[in-house]
Amino acid sequence: MEDEILTIDEVAKYLRVSERTVYDWAQKGDIPSGKFGTVWRFKKGEIERWVNNRLSNHRSAAHGSIQVESILSPDRVLFLDSPVKKQALTVLAENLAAASQVKNKSELVEEILRREELMSTAIGRGIAIPHVRLASVTDLVVSVGISKAGIADFQSLDDEPVRLIFMIAAAYNQHAYYLQTLSFFSARLKNRELRAALLEADRAADVYKLLAKV
């Protein structure tokens, strides 16, 4: 129902962000909300329109504005052996934390895992896009994980094992660029031929070249 009232926790799960992020958005007036005493409340219909407006605003610009070479490098492409989601995410987060843009490794790993506990980031077609924005990240950066065997416990929308993981960490003030990057990879990965080529690749350099192609 459009007039359904949501709590911060429910909005956080719906938007797949942390409760702290929703609270900060509400405090700054960045998200439609109302305060009753000391408690924030949100109308589901208004939240849905807010999300759709932002996605439509950024979708058309996403392909032209995202330069893969500036956010990914071959050393941040991993072939994952673990069949367990938590282990695979930890390995990939530790790889991402080695990037110079990430200043707090433990925070990144913790937030990636906490975010995943709230709701799965698997979007179907064997793809997951775990993502966080943190004050300890200075600029948006990406790591890519390839699991040829598949990771079955991701609770994907279509129940398919996850084989491609695109992990994104962004600075807290990069909301627009963050949405553009999510939209960019979501759109690119709808291409069945690209997904197949990524899974067939045996070297990190080959995965990087496939993704860096315009």
Give yes or no: residues 79 and 142 share one domain: yes
- Quick one: pLDDT at residue 200? 96
**200 and 106 both lie in a single domain:** yes
Beta-strand pair 122-124/127-128: antiparallel
Q: How many percent of the chain have pLDDT more than 90?
A: 49
Q: What is the pLDDT of residue 63?
A: 46
Residue 146 contacts residue 78 (beta carbons within 8 Å): yes
Residues 160-187: tens digit of each pLDDT? 999 999 999 999 888 888 888 888 898 8
Q: Which of 20, 45, 65 is the last residue of a domain?
A: 65
CA distance 104 to 134: 9
CA pair distance 33, 214, nearest whole angstrom: 39
- Clarify whether residues 156 and 120 are in a common domain: yes
Question: How many domains does the structure of the chain reveal?
Answer: 2
Encode pLDDT of 25-38 as tens digits.
888 788 888 888 88
CATH number of the domain bearing residue 123: 3.40.930.10
Please report which confidence band the pLDDT of residue 55 belongs to, taking 50, 70 and 90 as the band edges.
low
Q: Indicate whether 75 and 118 sit together in one domain.
A: yes
Cα separation, 125 vs 160, whole angstroms = 7
Do residues 110 and 187 share a domain?
A: yes
158 in the same domain as 208: yes
- Average pLDDT for 1-10: 78
What value does the mean pLDDT take over residues 189-209? 94
Task: Please report the pLDDT score of residue 194 as a whole number.
Answer: 95
123-145: string of b/e by CB count within 10 Å (b at 16+)?
bebbbbbbbbbbebbeebbbbbb
CATH code for the domain in which residue 32 is found: 1.10.1660.10
Please tell me whether residues 85 and 173 are part of one structural domain: yes
Task: Please check whether residues 19 and 76 belong to one and the same domain.
Answer: no
3-state SS, one letter per residue, for 97-124? HCCCCECCHHHHHHHHHHHHHHCCCEEE
Domain limits for position 92: 68-212
2-6, 8-12, 37-41, 120-124: segment of lowest average pLDDT: 2-6
What tens digit of pLDDT does each residue of 81-92 get? 999 999 999 999
Same domain, 205 and 152: yes
Tens of pLDDT, residues 91-120? 999 999 999 999 999 999 999 999 898 888
At 60, is the pLDDT very low, low, confident or very high (cuts 50, 70, 90)?
Answer: very low
Maximal C-alpha separation, the chain:
57
For residues 129 and 176, state if they share a domain: yes
44 and 96 belong to one structural domain: no
64, pLDDT greater than 60: no
Find out whether 92 and 204 touch, Cβ atoms under 8 Å: no
